[in-house]
A and B are shown apart, each in its own frame.
Chain A
Amino acid sequence: MLEIRNLHVTVDEGTTKRPILRGLDLAVGAGEVHAIMGPNGSGKSTLAHVLAGREGYVVTAGEVLYRGANLLDLPPETRAREGIFLAFQYPVEIPGVANIYLLKAALNAARKHRGEAELDALDFLALVKAKLRLMQMDESLLYRAVNEGFSGGEKKRNEILQMAVLEPQLAILDETDSGLDIDALKVVANGVNAMRSPERAMILVTHYQRLLDHIRPDRVHVLAHGRIALSGGPELALELERRGYGWVEAKALETAAGARP
């Protein structure tokens, strides 16, 4: 599904270009759920943004293949229509646009891209209502402006609602657990778990292990200094919770020093 090879990314900060990712390799297959963990500043969110096509990030080396084709040349909207979904760490408020309007426009755009007819109003509403129940969201949120005045938990749930409606092939959840109380975390996790399928790949970007109590990943990767420093099974997350990130970072620095050309 997704193959990242030797990815180097710098972030454009006006006058300076700061390297963030320095040779990241990652392969995620259909049906798999991968967790990407790591300390603050390790490049987790950068990876999520680069995959979604956010401007301001410059890929200086490496490649990203999505379903066998080069992803990096595609504009963000094409990536979305091709089935990539990023649940934002900080969902954006859009005054004046009703939540349901965006859902409908986004779904139509993807369906059109796939050569499918748009859903009629009734089918669309039935679909959205079913997903609302899954996310335990009130119907009134559909008619409010996108994320405007939503609580932190509502915003995160709304991201997963969009994901549930759009049914992506590859879902990237960027710190979806941050700012959630335990009840909201469960709701979000249930929503994500309901989306697991043999055709769908998921990447959970998270700082803490607690999301992984509710969504059991197939693989856990630790990102440090811009590359995957360590990979393992779900038990790795528990070890990180116990020991912290320091030892992995130290190890990553050693490896980086050795590998630097």
Chain B
Amino acid sequence: MTTGAREHYLGRFAAHRARLAGASLPWLQRLRDAAIERFAGLGLPTTREEDWKYTNLSALERRLFDVVADGAQFSGFRNDVAERELARHALDDTHRLVFVDGRYAPGLSHVASLPRGAEIGSLAELVATRPEVAAELLDTDPEAEANGLAALNAAFWTDGAYIDLAPGVAIDAPVHLLFVATRMDLASFPRIVVRTGAGAEATVIEHYAGSDDAVYLTDAVTRIDAGAGARVTHVKVQQESRRGFHIAGIHTLQAADSRFASHSFAFGGQLARNDIATRLEAEGCNAKLAGLYVGSGRQHHDHHTCIDHARPRGTSRELYKGVLDDASRAVFNGRVIVRPGAQRTDAQQSNHNLLLSDGAEVNTKPQLEIWADDVQCAHGATVGQLDADRLHYLRARGLDAATARGLLIHAFAADVLRDITHAGLRARLSTLLPGQLPEDMGELECELLPTS
């Protein structure tokens, strides 16, 4: 079986190699060649690997996706679908880059004026116009892309976004990267690079949307380099087609005293996997990882996170929540490493799951690897159902059963949504939760939320 996907993608690579972005740049071709070699060795992950024990990719062995190499050859995207998706997902007060089936769509994008020292744009364009800058941004550690799908992205990536901030530069408005899938049977390989100089600040919303129940594969890789004292917020919103496949890796390196916040919201896809890792590689870093996965039908959501405390005085807070209905499945694996010498690390992790049906299932696993002695680490996980006493109490106050249920579901998710500062996005995420809220009340508005 395994040879199916492997041979297919190796064949596609051989056929398209000469037309991939930056094909004339030897350093880039070397990176791609090394990546496809890694893929040839690895193939797709299987459930025999510990990290993929609960996420079975055999569907990706059976379903082989087209790969389209360059923009010139590519004219198949559905503009009407793209525009409809844009209307649905556009966010006010953001710098917006839209990608359709993996390619930058300048006509749908909108970037307001940026402060001096801030650059954002299409990665393929950057490779074409300023390859020396692209070379810096793409100079990453292949070790972090050790699984077959990450290697596939490194070999095939055709476009994506870069956000490059000089030291001290802050972008006030979030950068909204909207990836729209319009075509059946296509694999796209977005690559996103974020580099923030010392003291720089940015919020990046990485957003995937697809509709019409199209079957396709998104295989994305995001690299974030947070300079000393930088503040980077990354918000992932996954709203792929209900039949789409979504595999993504988000890897962050944190310099001294940097603050990194990751928020991952997973709603779509038939099978979705996020690997989110941050390495606190200098002193005094702060990392906050939060997430919410919402499953129904036969959806499968997997979050594997890794917080690597490599140096002293790091703080990390992790909160993941899941709401699972029908026969949906979720996996949460929270790895926390405290390296030797990373003294006075303070790490807390929790994962809470709400099962709305008997058929739903979650596999949750903390994975703490602590090699230092002067540390504070705590973790906790719960799996439960809606509380009958709470439901009754709300109904006894006049809320109907469906609303009482909805309110408890929203209340469960409230602390993950609360930290999203973009009010429009927060409200939209709230509407993606199952269950209705009391009429005329709107979302659990901020002023009506409890203060903690």
Contact = CB atoms under 8 A, between A and B. Distances in A.
Nearest to B446: A98
B449 A98 contact: yes
Contacts, number: 106
B439 interface: yes
B441 A94 contact: no
A77 B400 contact: yes
Given A106-B399, A108-B439, A94 B393 contact: yes
B426 interface: no
A105 B450 contact: no
A148 B390 CA distance: 12
A75 B390 CA distance: 15
Interface string B122-136: 000000000000000
A148 B411 CA distance: 13
B389 A92 contact: yes
A104 B410 CA distance: 16
Interface stretch (A10-18, A52-60, A236-244): A52-60
Contacts of A54: 392, 396
A112 B440 CA distance: 11
Contacts of B393: 88, 91-92, 94
A251 B450 CA distance: 51
Nearest to A95: B411
A108 B444 contact: no
A145 interface: yes
A130 B388 CA distance: 32
B327 interface: no
B395 A75 contact: yes
Interface string B408-452: 101111110000000000000000000000111100100111110
A77 B408 contact: no
A106 B397 contact: yes
Contacts of B395: 53, 75-77, 80
A98 B411 CA distance: 9
B415 A109 contact: no
B107 interface: no
Interface string B377-401: 0000000000111101111111111
Contact of B450 (A104, A109, A148): A148
A77 B411 contact: no
Interface residues of A, number: 39
Nearest to A92: B393
A162 interface: yes
A94 B415 CA distance: 13
Contact of B398 (A95, A96, A110): A110
B385 to A, nearest CB: 15
A110 B444 CA distance: 20
B207 to A, nearest CB: 25
A157 interface: no
Interface in A131-167: 143-145, 148, 162, 166
A108 B397 contact: no
Contacts of A104: 438, 441, 448
Given A104-B441, A108-B438, A108-B440, A96 B397 contact: no
A52 B448 contact: no
A80 B398 contact: yes
Contacts of A105: 397-399, 403, 407, 438, 441
A102 interface: yes
A166 B451 CA distance: 24
Contacts of B392: 54-55, 76, 92
Chain B CB count within 10 A is highest, among A104, A109, A148, A162, for A109
Contacts of A93: 390
A81 interface: yes
Nearest to A144: B450
A27 interface: no
Contact of B396 (A52, A95, A101, A118): A52
A248 interface: no
B269 to A, nearest CB: 26
Contacts of A79: 396
A91 B389 CA distance: 9
Given A96-B411, A143-B451, A145-B450, A112 B394 contact: no
A35 interface: no
Contacts of A148: 450
Given A102-B394, A144-B450, A108 B441 contact: yes
Nearest to B404: A77
Contacts of B438: 104-105, 108-109
25 contacts: A75-B400, A75-B401, A76-B395, A77-B395, A80-B395, A80-B398, A88-B393, A88-B396, A93-B390, A94-B394, A96-B412, A96-B413, A96-B415, A98-B448, A101-B441, A104-B438, A105-B441, A108-B438, A109-B397, A109-B400, A109-B438, A110-B398, A144-B450, A144-B451, A166-B397
